[in-house]
Structure 1
Amino acid sequence: MFGTSGVRGPVGEAVTADLALDVGRALATDGVETVVIGRDARDSGRMLARALTAGLTECGADVVDVGVEATPTVARAVAREGADAGVVVTASHNPAPDNGIKLWTASGRAFDEERNDRIAETVEAAAFDFAGHDGIGAVEERDVVAGGDARRAHERALRETVSLPGDLSVVVDLGNGVGRVTADALHEAGCDVETLNGQRDGRFPGRPSEPTAANCETACEVVAATDADLGLVHDGDADRLMAIDERGRFVAGDALLALFARREASGGDRVAVPVDTSLLVADALAEVDADVTYTPVGDAYVAAEAAKSGVAFGGEPSGAWIWPERTLCPDGPLAACVLTTLVDAEGSLAALVDDLPEYPIRRDSVRAEAKEAVVEGVAAAANEEYDDVSTLDGIRVETETGWFLVRASGTEPLVRITAEAREADDADALFETARDLVDRAVETV
C-alpha cells in the first residue's frame, strides 16, 4: 500500500475516501494520540483530509488541522504542536488527477518501512480500536480558512537559521503549489522577489507539478530576460527545490546535490545519497575529504541514513534536500534559502556550476505494470553476465568504464534506467546494455 513516498495514485482508484478513513483509523489504533494534518492545493485533498480526520477521531486521536500548506511546513508543525505524528495529503510532483497520503513521525521524518507496514496490515485486517461515545477525538483548526499559523512559524525558522541576503533578485516559480513560504522568507529578508505561478491551484495550470527542465522553460526564460541572480522552482507540495542560474540555465539535480554536499560536509563527514546519484557528488566530496553513503532511492531512506551520526547532509538529484540538524523532512524552502545564501557568498550560480566537471549520465523509464518482475528478470541476467552487482535498490552494475542501474519506481508503474561514465560513448554503451536487459525482461514477463 505504501511506496517509497507513502500512498499515492489516481483519486477514485488507488486513493479513495474509504482508504483515507481506514488509514486514519489504523494510525490511531497504532497508539497515536495527537496528529497534525495538512494538505496541498488539490481539490480532492479536502475530501481525503476529512476522511482521515474522521478515522482518527473515531478511534480516539485528536487532530490539529493546519490547512493547505507545504509538506515541510506540516512536518515541522508536528513537533511544534507536541503531536505524535503528522499526515500530509499530497501527491507531491505527480499530475493533478493523483493524490496521496504521507505519514510523519514526531521528529519530522517520514514513517519507515516497518511502521508503514504496520499501518497497512491494520488496514488490511480492519483491526481497528474504535472509541466509545465519550472517547471520540477532538479537532482543532489552526487558521485553516485564511491559512498561515504553521507557515509563519516555518518562515520564522528559516530566517532564524539561515543568514539570508537582502540584496539579491530572485525568481520563485511556485508551480501553482503551496510553497509560498519561500517567497515570503526571501521578501522579508529584503530580496527582490518575482513569483511565477503563484496562485494556488491543484490543477497546476501554469506548468506540470514536477520541476524538470522541460517543465520549467518559462521560468528559465524569465530569469534569462531579467537581472535575476537565480531562479528557484518548487513542486506542488514544496518538498522539492530545483534551481536556474542567472543565465537562464536549469541546473541539473546532480550538480545541485554536489554543491550542497560540498558546502555542508567537511573532513570525515558522510553525505547520504541514493544509488542513482552521479559520480560527480563523490568527486566533489573527495575535495573536502568527505564520503558518500548510498541508500535506496526515496527521501525516507535518505532521511533514515541522514539521521545517523556523522552524516552532515542528505539529498536526491530529483530535488529532495535534507539538513538533519534542522529537519529530517525534505524542505524545499530551506533549500531555497540555503542556495540563495550560497549564491550571495560566491557571486554566481552559473560559475559554481561551470566549475564542476561534467559526467555524461543517461536516464529513461520503461512502462511496466509488472515492474518488480521485470527487475527480477534483469537481476537474473546481470548476475550471469557481470561480477560487480549490487542489489541495495534494484540492480546496480559497476564496470571499468562506469555503472548502470535498473530499478522499479516506488510511485509509478515504471522501470527506471540510469547509466553513467566519464566518457559519452561509454555512457551510451552502458545505457544501451541496460535498456537491452530491460527489454528482454519485459518480453519474458
Structure 2
Amino acid sequence: MFGTSGVRGRVGDEVTCDLALSVGRALASEGYDRVVVGRDARESGRMLADAAVAGLRECGADVVRLGEAATPTVARSVGWRDADAGLVVTASHNPAPDNGLKLWNPSGQAFDERQRESIAARVREDDYDLAAWDGLGEVTAWDGATERHAEALTRAAAPGNLSVVVDVGNGVGQVTAEALRRLGHDVQTLNERADGTFPARPSEPTAENCRALAEFVAGGDAGFDADLGIAHDGDADRMRAVTGRGEFVAGDLLLALFAREAAGAGDEVAVPVDTSLAVDDLLAAHGVSVSRTRVGDVYVAERATDPGVAFGGEPSGAWIWPDETLCPDGPLAACRLAGLVSRTGSLDARLGEVERYPLRRGNVETDRKGAVVERVRERVSDAYDDVTTLDGVRAETDDGWFLVRASGTQPLVRVTAEARSESRTDDLFAEARSLVEDARSEREV
C-alpha cells in the first residue's frame, strides 16, 4: 500500500475516501492520539482530508487541522503542536489527477518501514479500535503554522540582499517568498496562486518545466535580471534552483554544494544510490564520506539520524538538515541557498567548484516493474563482478556505473548511468536500458 513516499495514485482508483478513512482509523488505532492534518492545493484533498479526520476521530484521536500548507510545514507542526503524528494529503510532484497520504513523526521524519507496515496491516485486516459515542476525538484548527514556519526559516538561514525569483508552481510553498523577504532579499514570484490543477506548469520542477523561470531570471525585456531562481513542486518538499545566467542546476551539483557547506572533515553525508560521483569526489577532497541509501527521502532521513551524518539529500530536490528537521524542507533549502550565494558570490561561480561528469537518467514504463527489475538483476549478476542490490541493481565498472530500479511511486523502471566520458556514459545507459526493455518484453509475452 505504501511506496517510498507514502500512499500515492490516481484519485477514484488507487486513492479514495474509503482508503483515507481507513488510514485515519488505523493511525488512531495504533495509539497516535493527537494528529496534525494538512493538505496541498488539489481539490480532491478537501474530501480526502475530511475522510482521514473522520477516521481519526472515530477511533478516538484528536486532530489539529492546518488546511492548505506545505508538507514541511505540516511535518514540523507535529512537534510544534505536541502531536504524536502528522498526516499530509498530497501527491507532491505527481500530476493533478493524483493524490496521496504521507505520515510523519514528531521529529519531522516520515514514518519508517515498520510504522508503515503496521498501518497497512490494520487496513488490510480491517482491524480498528472504534471509540464509544462519548469517546470520539476532537478537532481544533491552527492557522499559525505557516507563520511559525517562516519564523523558523529566518532563524535557520543567513540574511542577504539578492534578487530572487520564486516559482511556487501553483502549489502551497508561498512561505518561501515570505521568509526570503524577511531575510532581506528582493523577491518576485511566479505562479503564486495555489491551484491544484497546476495550470502554469506541471508540478514537478524539472528543467523542462522550469524554462519560464530560467528565462525570467536571466533577464531580458520581460525578465527580472535576478541573482537566483527557486522552484518548488506542489507541496514544497522539493526545491530546485536556477543560476543568475538562467541555468537550471542539476540536482547532483546542488547536492554537492549543500553537502560541502553542511559537512566538515570526519562527517558523513547520506545520499541515494543514484547520486553522481561528482558528490563523492568533491566531499572526499575535504575529508567527508558518503553513505549511500535506497532512493527515497524516507531512507535518506533514516540514515540522517545516525551520529555523524551532517546532511542528507536527493538529486530530485529533497534536502535534509538533521539539525533542523528530518523532513525534506524545500523552503529551508531555498533560504539556505540564498544565504550561501549572498555570502560567497554567484551560484554560477560556486558550481564551478564541482566536477561535472556525464550522467543520464531515463524511464521505461511497465506495470510489472518488480518482475522486470528482478530479471535484470539475474542478468547483471551473471555479467558483472561488482554488483549491489541495496535498491534495484547497481553495476560498477572501471570507468562508470549504471543503476536499474523500480520507481516507488509510479509504474516505471528508472535507468541511470554515469561515466567520466560522454561516449562511455551513452554506452552504459544504452546497455542498461536495453536490459530493461528486453526484460519487459519477456514478461509481457
TM-score, normalisation: structure 2 = 0.98
Count of residue correspondences: 439
CA contact (8 A) 2:70 2:172 kept: yes
Deviation of the 1:354 alpha carbon: 2.5
Q: Distance in 2 between matches of 1:190 and 1:105?
A: 32
Q: How does 1:353-368 map to 2 (within 5 A)?
A: 353-368=351-366
**Percentage of matched positions with identical amino acids:** 61
Q: Which moved more, 1:404-413 or 1:189-198?
A: 189-198
Q: Distance in 2 between matches of 1:52 and 1:131?
A: 15
Counterpart among 324, 332, 335 of residue 333 in structure 2: 335
Q: Distance in 2 between matches of 1:117 and 1:124?
A: 10
Q: Say what the alpha-carbon RMSD is for the aligned residues.
A: 0.7
Counterpart among 278, 282, 285 of residue 284 in structure 1: 282
Counterpart among 314, 322, 338 of residue 312 in structure 2: 314
User: Equivalent residue for 2:226?
Assistant: 228
User: Equivalent residue for 2:145?
Assistant: 150
1:198 aligns with 2:192: yes
Deviation of the 1:333 alpha carbon: 0.4
User: Equivalent residue for 1:184?
Assistant: 178
User: Equivalent residue for 1:26?
Assistant: 26
User: Equivalent residue for 1:53?
Assistant: 53
Please give the per-residue CA displacement for 1:295-349, whole angstroms capped at 9, x wherever unaligned: 0000000000001100000000000000001000000000000000000011100
Deviation of the 1:41 alpha carbon: 0.3
1:162 aligns with 2:157: yes
User: Equivalent residue for 1:262?
Assistant: 260
Residue type of the alignment partner of 2:441:
E
Deviation of the 1:227 alpha carbon: 2.5
Q: How does 1:418-433 map to 2 (within 5 A)?
A: 418-433=416-431
Deviation of the 1:284 alpha carbon: 1.1
Deviation of the 1:189 alpha carbon: 2.2
Deviation of the 1:190 alpha carbon: 2.4
CA contact (8 A) 2:392 2:406 kept: yes
Q: Distance in 2 between matches of 1:280 and 1:6?
A: 30
Deviation of the 1:162 alpha carbon: 1.5
User: Equivalent residue for 2:386?
Assistant: 388
Q: Distance in 2 between matches of 1:295 and 1:98?
A: 27
Deviation of the 1:408 alpha carbon: 0.1
Q: Distance in 1 between matches of 2:49 and 2:145?
A: 17
1:88 aligns with 2:88: yes
Local SS of the residue matching 1:294: strand
Deviation of the 1:355 alpha carbon: 2.8
Q: Distance in 1 between matches of 2:400 and 2:31?
A: 48
User: Equivalent residue for 1:379?
Assistant: 377
User: Equivalent residue for 1:296?
Assistant: 294
Local SS of the residue matching 1:35: strand
Deviation of the 1:360 alpha carbon: 0.3
Please give the per-residue CA displacement for 1:187-215, whole angstroms capped at 9, x wherever unaligned: 12221100000000000001000000000
User: Equivalent residue for 1:174?
Assistant: 168
TM-score, normalisation: structure 1 = 0.98
1:214 aligns with 2:208: yes
Q: How does 1:62-81 map to 2 (within 5 A)?
A: 62-81=62-81
User: Equivalent residue for 2:112?
Assistant: 112
Deviation of the 1:358 alpha carbon: 1.3
Task: Name segments (4+ residues, structure 1) moved above 2 Å.
Answer: none
User: Equivalent residue for 1:146?
Assistant: none
Deviation of the 1:134 alpha carbon: 1.0
Deviation of the 1:351 alpha carbon: 1.0
Q: Distance in 2 between matches of 1:439 and 1:52?
A: 40
Unmatched 5+ stretches in structure 1: 144-148
Deviation of the 1:127 alpha carbon: 0.6
User: Equivalent residue for 1:43?
Assistant: 43
Local SS of the residue matching 2:210: helix
Residue type of the alignment partner of 1:202:
G
Q: Distance in 2 between matches of 1:410 and 1:386?
A: 25
Q: Distance in 2 between matches of 1:260 and 1:67?
A: 31
Residue type of the alignment partner of 1:383:
S
CA contact (8 A) 2:216 2:225 kept: no
Q: Distance in 1 between matches of 2:162 and 2:127?
A: 55
Q: Distance in 1 between matches of 2:73 and 2:441?
A: 45
Q: Distance in 1 between matches of 2:26 and 2:421?
A: 51
Local SS of the residue matching 2:356: coil
